[in-house]
Amino acid sequence: MNGSPMPGNIVTVDTTVPVWERFFTVAPLVLIGTRDADGSLDLAPKHMVTPMGWQNYFGFVCTPRHNTCSNIDRSGVFTVSYPKPSQVLVASLAASPRCEHGEKPVIDYLDTFPATEIDGGFAADGYLYFECRHYKTIDGFGENCLVTGEIVAAHVDDACLRRSETDDQETIHDSPLFAYLAPGRFATIDRSNAFPFPESMKR
């Protein structure tokens, strides 16, 4: 079936190089928590993250070169902390490079608290937290891989919990969400609208 010609305002970008620096996309930003070999907590910011279907599975893109991947391979677990907009500095500091001998001392200055079901930790003052057991890692996305886990425990700031007696917009207005605008920008989401799903739509 032939469609209309491509609109004049649409520009074709070069796919011989990665396209992601040429435009903005909206994504969550999370801190993936793992334990280094010496038992110290590591927190690494990631924005290529997503639920893996409708069940309790979570995934994120990483690279085998990072300690995050080797830590998960060794321990079999990881945590996920969703920061609030007020924590943009925390997320930024977590991206600090490691020292010459592999330490990441900036983590010692961040407020954290322990997970309940696995050996891990979270960044304090976030709004949503997952404790995950490693499910599988899928290699082959260029130099990257997709790390997936099963959520075995989930925790949420009481103010962010959806309730039948509270309008969703009111919840979002009172507890704004952190959005990462790749590449390199962020936004605070405090307004939203209900999506107009067709009545016949099914999962």
Tell me the CATH number at 80.
2.30.110.10
Flag whether 53 is in a domain.
Answer: yes
Flag whether 9 is in a domain.
Answer: no
pTM comes to: 0.91
Residue 203's pLDDT is: 74
Residue 107's pLDDT is: 72
Flag whether 16 is in a domain.
Answer: no
pLDDT tens-digit series, residues 48-82 = 999 999 999 999 999 999 999 999 999 999 999 99
Residue 146 reports pLDDT greater than 80: yes
Give me the number of domains the chain comprises: 1
Flag whether 15 is in a domain.
Answer: no
Residue 93's pLDDT is: 80
Question: Edge-to-edge strand order for the sheet containing 57-62?
Answer: 41-46, 30-35, 77-82, 128-141, 144-156, 57-62, 49-51
Angle in degrees, CA 86, 92, 95, rounded to 5:
145
Residue 3's pLDDT is: 74
Flag whether 17 is in a domain.
Answer: no
User: What are the CA-CA distances from residue 103 to residues 33, 42, 98, 99 (Å)?
Assistant: 15, 9, 5, 5
SS3 content of the chain, % helix, strand, coil (to 5): 20, 35, 45
Could you tell me the residue range of the domain that residue 118 belongs to? 26-165
pLDDT tens-digit series, residues 87-139 = 888 888 877 766 555 566 667 778 899 999 999 999 999 999 999 999 999 99
Residue 176 reports pLDDT greater than 90: yes
Flag whether 201 is in a domain.
Answer: no
Those residues whose C-beta lies under 8 Å from the C-beta of residue 186, and which sit 6 or more positions away, are 29, 85, 88, 178, 179, 180
Q: How many Cα atoms are found within 13 Å in the side-chain-facing hemisphere of 124?
A: 8
Flag whether 126 is in a domain.
Answer: yes
Flag whether 200 is in a domain.
Answer: no
